[in-house]
Amino acid sequence: MLFADIDILDENLAVQPHRWVGVRDGRIAFVSEEAPERAVAATFGEVYHGRGKLLMPALYNAHAHSPMTLLRGFAENLPLQRWLEEKCFPFEAKMTAEDCYWGTVLACAEMARYGVVSFSDMYYASEERARAVLEAGMKANMCEGLVAFEEKPYAEYPICAQMEALVADWHGAGDGRIRIDYNIHSEYLSTETVCRDILDIVRGTDLRLHIHLSETEKEVRECRERHGGLSPVEYFDRIGIFDVPVTAAHCVWVDETDLDILQARGVFVANNPASNLKLGSGFAPIPEMLRRGMNVCLGSDGMASNNNHNLFHDMYLQALIYKGATLDPTAVTPQQALAAATRVGARSQGRDDCGVVAEGMRADLCVLDTTGPQWCPAPDPVYNLVYAGDGSDVVLTLCDGQVIYRADGHSAGSEGQWPTIDLERAKAECAARTARIIGEL
């Protein structure tokens, strides 16, 4: 595909008008202010006319639970512990592997619709979830959810052999579109023995860890009671967990000592502003993390605590809420919010050749229709992109150069086509499966 005369969001997160961008063999092969020679242009195949459009990096969701699309609207108006124990856990106990597959299919359709091409997913039935992602033409870092209460080695838990098989069969599948991460759900749902055993497995490999960390005040308080005053961050650091690449979701209740550790260890903090707001968990100290130069990325969390996979909403919240929370209108810039949703999110997944519109990078791209009234006027389009734009403006999403959502001939905000997904069947399957599970509760 050759994008002709289109505005782009460049590697510095600035909008550059009237560019030509060529995509070939899954990568960006050409970026120029001038149209290529006719013979060269012909080698790119389709010409996509870009007037009134903005080409930008696709988005990377750094923390998700994709099968929880089945719980959308089910667990509402509860604090986190009651939300988990009274609603989520009983529902999830009824979910089958096939339920997880269809929940993931619908999640993929929703994310592709809103310009997301890759997500870090923590749940169960990883084989079925990975199959759904590959069929959708998308990318994901999959980890099998670990809950470990018994004081025994990790090797004695069935999940140990399951993870070995996942790494052998799925890590790197689909030309690297599927990556397998190891998981420690949290300090309160694991043991130190298991944490140390997992660390020994991951250390020295290209594998990564995905954890929940310091999400609520209660979690931190009870951890200090269990571990001689150590916070969850200090506890995991003492074990050595941060010696390997880690994406830590939430990090809401962290203090200066915790931030020093996370900064020094290069931990990727996956902020989930919508989920943290909805569950009343609080605000992660994102402005201070950014001031320190920490790796801040962006997650949706599951649909029981967010309700939509429109990561543009989360990006808007990340750029906005900290201005009010800190009484500082400069607390988070639009560029910092964009980086969290694109380049830093890709790096959190170990996808170092993704997340930037530049020659040689993988062609993970989305196109926004910028002809709507909310885009005009635009003295600096970056501000419109973050504060006025929305995932509903996305009219094309490419993952490794392949179209996974397209809305040609449709106005912004209307539905287009999913070449890789039967959306109507996915909706019907998910609605029926949610009704069945609720009926069993």
114 plus 255 within the same structural domain: yes
Q: Are 391 and 58 in contact (CB under 8 A)?
A: no
Q: Are 103 and 68 in contact (CB under 8 A)?
A: yes
- Number of domains, the chain: 2
Q: 232: left (phi > 0), else alpha (psi -120 to 50), else beta?
A: alpha
pLDDT of residue 79: 82
Please report, for the domain that includes residue 126, its CATH number: 3.20.20.140
Instruction: Give domain status of residue 156, yes or no.
Output: yes
Instruction: Give domain status of residue 420, yes or no.
Output: no
48 plus 64 within the same structural domain: no
pLDDT of residue 409: 62
181 plus 321 within the same structural domain: yes
Q: Are 427 and 50 in contact (CB under 8 A)?
A: no
16 plus 126 within the same structural domain: no
248 plus 327 within the same structural domain: yes
pLDDT of residue 80: 81
Tokens 């402005």 appear where?
287
307 plus 184 within the same structural domain: yes
Q: Are 383 and 336 in contact (CB under 8 A)?
A: no
Please report, for the domain that includes residue 24, its CATH number: 2.30.40.10
242 plus 341 within the same structural domain: yes
Count other C-beta atoms under 10 Å from residue 231's C-beta. 23
pLDDT of residue 114: 98
User: What is the pTM assigned to this prediction?
Assistant: 0.97
130 plus 265 within the same structural domain: yes
143 plus 205 within the same structural domain: yes
312 plus 210 within the same structural domain: yes
pLDDT of residue 408: 76
pLDDT of residue 307: 95
Instruction: Give domain status of residue 433, yes or no.
Output: no
pLDDT of residue 414: 55
37 plus 88 within the same structural domain: no
How many CA atoms within 13 Å lie on the side-chain side of 181?
31
Q: Which positions of the chain have pLDDT values less than 70? A: 409-414
393 plus 341 within the same structural domain: no
Instruction: With CA atoms as reference, report the closest residue to 346 among 59, 111, 114, 65.
Output: 59
Instruction: Give domain status of residue 194, yes or no.
Output: yes
Q: Which domain holds residue 7?
A: 2-57+367-415
